[in-house]
Amino acid sequence: MTVVLELGADLRSELKDPFGPVEPDTEAVLRAAGRPLVTVGDIVTFHVLDAGTTPDVALVDERTQRAAVDDHVREAIDASRFDRELSVENPPATLTTDLLETLRTALDDGESTLVRVDGEEDLAALPAIAAVPDGASVLYGQPDEGIVHVRVDAPVRERVRDLLARMDGDTDRAFAALGVDAE
């Protein structure tokens, strides 16, 4: 496991504003969602699965708001709902080559993939937004508000790539691991 990017304290405030609209209704989000569909976080993934949809890629760490998820949430995120299950290590406030390469593989292979993260998956929405094609959807949670639905297009991708480029670490290596151009 190699950490390639780390979130500096100076960038944390930029992540407070969601990258898309916040919707409390999972069904409404799914009606508007494009493909591939990527979910980041246990609660969002739980609600999407509960609504009868299997994400193309789901990243979970069995935690929500720094606490363990309830047993019913953990049990509902069942690997049998996916074509495959992968595991990676990714410490809090970082992005590792393992996470980035696994995300790239999951997106490229076309099989629904559950990625279990040992550590924290919170920042995984950023490389997911950078890597998916236009029209795809990345969903993540906004605590106590609902699901952030990022319908990816060039402006949001550019905003995310700029943010990734300003993180501490080796941006070129991160983009290479993810399989995207830095521009």
Top pLDDT among 65 and 30 is at 30
State the pLDDT at residue 66. 74
Q: Residue 96's beta-bridge partner residues?
A: 3
| pTM confidence score | 0.96
Q: Counting every residue, how long is the chain?
A: 183
Sign of CA dihedral 177, 157, 133, 117: positive
The pLDDT tens digits for 37-61 are 999 999 999 999 999 999 999 999 9
Predicted confidence band at 138 (pLDDT cuts at 50, 70, 90)? very high
Q: Is 60 helix (H, G, I), strand (E, B) or coil?
A: strand
SS (H, E, C) 70-119: CHHHHHHCCHHHCCEEEEEEECCCEEEHHHHHHHHHHHHHCCCEEEEEEE
Residue 113: pLDDT band with limits 50, 70, 90: very high
Structure tokens at 156: 């949001």
| 166: pLDDT strictly greater than 80 | yes
Q: Collapse the DSSP code of 153 into the 3-class scheme (helix H, G, I; strand E, B; otherwise coil) and give the result.
A: coil
